[in-house]
Structure 1
Amino acid sequence: MAEVEKSGRIRTATAFLLTGLLWGSAWIAEGRLRDAVPDCYAGPIPGISLEAARYGIAAAALGLLALRDLGSRISQKAILWAAMLGVVQLGVPFVLAAWSGSGVAPGISIVSFALMPLFALLISGGNGEGEIPLAVAGVGGVTLLGATSLNLSWHAWPMFLALLAAVLLGAVGLLGLRRLRVHGLIQSGQWAQFCAIQSGTACLFLLLASFIFHSADAAPCTLQRASALPLVALALPVTAVTLPLLFLLAGRMEAWQIATLEWLTTLVAVLESHGLLKIRPSWLEGLGAAILAGCIVRVVSIDESSATPVPSYLK
């Protein structure tokens, strides 16, 4: 029994670290994609067409994997949940975050997303094992990492509130996914079907939003050959792989713990960018990285039985 439990914890930690590594490395593909097709980042919601294409490709790949599980189709309730999470957890947060990006500094953005574990804890109403202090410490670590770009002007407050709404929706989405897994509304072997529906719904929502927010003055978004590789990288490893990993994690970790992937993503991105660009970190960044590393180790080591349960109103 102890060996099985140990093996399960190793699988959970591996899935957690792999997801953070893939998300944290996504900035490389995103940068190359922006350089290849800059016209696609014009308009009020920069990159929305590319984001729709990303989820569309991911949905197609996951759909192919789901073909082997057609003998065990998911319930209509699970389909509705998958579609809802595609909008609430993926589609709407992207629109809000992309719109706010034109007025909110990058440092403010990463600190805002670092609040997701705290939001999830406040919604669920739990504070077992000192979880809220741990969530606050994680936000502090991210703040130190982004201390050089924490400017927020008064005219950007609407965009900042939109960014916080995106973070809040991300937390709600994780709580919903956790509910599905805890109460057995979807079986573990149906992950491909669930994730394909979730990604496909996000694609359709973003396509609709791109038509609604289309600017007549903006140049058309035309894909180039140079954009194929970074787009596929974002669609397959960063999306089609991490969505099933999140599905796995939701069966083994609480929503607030999964949300701390935002911390790991930031840590990986900062370390990679400093290494590739040969930037020497400041002492504040070093302190922030050390705090984050300690917080992440603590999050992964928390036993499932002592974690905060799903709130009663989500049951």
Structure 2
Amino acid sequence: MRGVRASVGAAALLLLGACNRHQSALDVFGDEAATVRHLTIIMLIGAIVIAAGVAGLMIAAVRAPEGKLTLKGGMRLIGWLGGVLPVVVLLGLLLYSLPAMRPLPVARDDLRIAVEGEQFWWRVRYQPPGSPPVVTANEIRIPVGRTVQFDLTAGDVIHSFWIPGLAGKMDMIPGRTNRLIVRATRAGTFRGVCTEFCGLSHALMAFDVVAMEPAAFDAWLANERRPATPAADTAGGARAFAANGCTGCHAIAGTGAAGLIGPDLTHIGSRASLGAGTTPMTRDALVRFIKDAPAVKPGARMPAYPQLPVQDAQAIAAYLESLK
């Protein structure tokens, strides 16, 4: 009975995990994820039918009168139910699922988004047709109803890109570009994750996914092309940012900061989270990350700055918070 209770409890936990609406393969908002969910339901129904049939045969065999089951009858049963039936069922499932394996068609003028996995964050580059690329980090926005091609690679180790409600997983391999084609079907804010162990902060490597109506997306992308305008009272933070060497790793469009090692911070103040989904984007969180990033995200390549005065860290945080 203890084993039964444990099994029931484990199943209940799995079902509760599926109730998460912002990171769930069952709460779909993309064409490919909807197809995967449909196939999963079909296979689950098939598995239940097969399991019920096996249970029925077992009950019939146990209750059969002595001498009714013969060797010849048993071999015939094994041949049909253990050989012919599985072949027919598996062939049927294969033929049924083959059309779903065909990727979405992509046109030359469709939006392309290059995503590069780093330890432990995401470099994102929008490549709209006929326009210069737009670089950001740790957040992906896509237009509803439009086909989008993700060009996925990695800069250090193997990562795996997964937005559960949008599409299946895709590995990100250094030196190789894998392509994932998606189409969002409804607006909302969701969550993507890395599903390949990539180091100490693998579990802290997530990103926000915002599916937007096409007009809103176009307006957002147009704003991202422009340099962010910091608030006038954050000039001290901008000076502290440059004086403490932050420009060597980070880029901020419209300023002298052109570093390529760390995330682009041009519009960091408009992002919902900090540190690749680690914490909400707040002033206090920015100060903690600036002072000691490895304490917030173990293994992060950004060093700690224990010598940095708190006042400077607060000024830099205010400056970054104003970049929207």
* TM-score bracket for the superposition, by shorter chain length: under 0.3
Q: TM-score, structure 2 length as denominator?
A: 0.24
Q: TM-score, structure 1 length as denominator?
A: 0.24
Point out the structure with the larger strand share.
2
Structure number with bigger Rg: 2
Task: Give the number of the structure with larger relative contact order, counting CA–CA contacts within 8 Å between residues 6 or more apart.
Answer: 1
Point out the structure with the larger helix share.
1
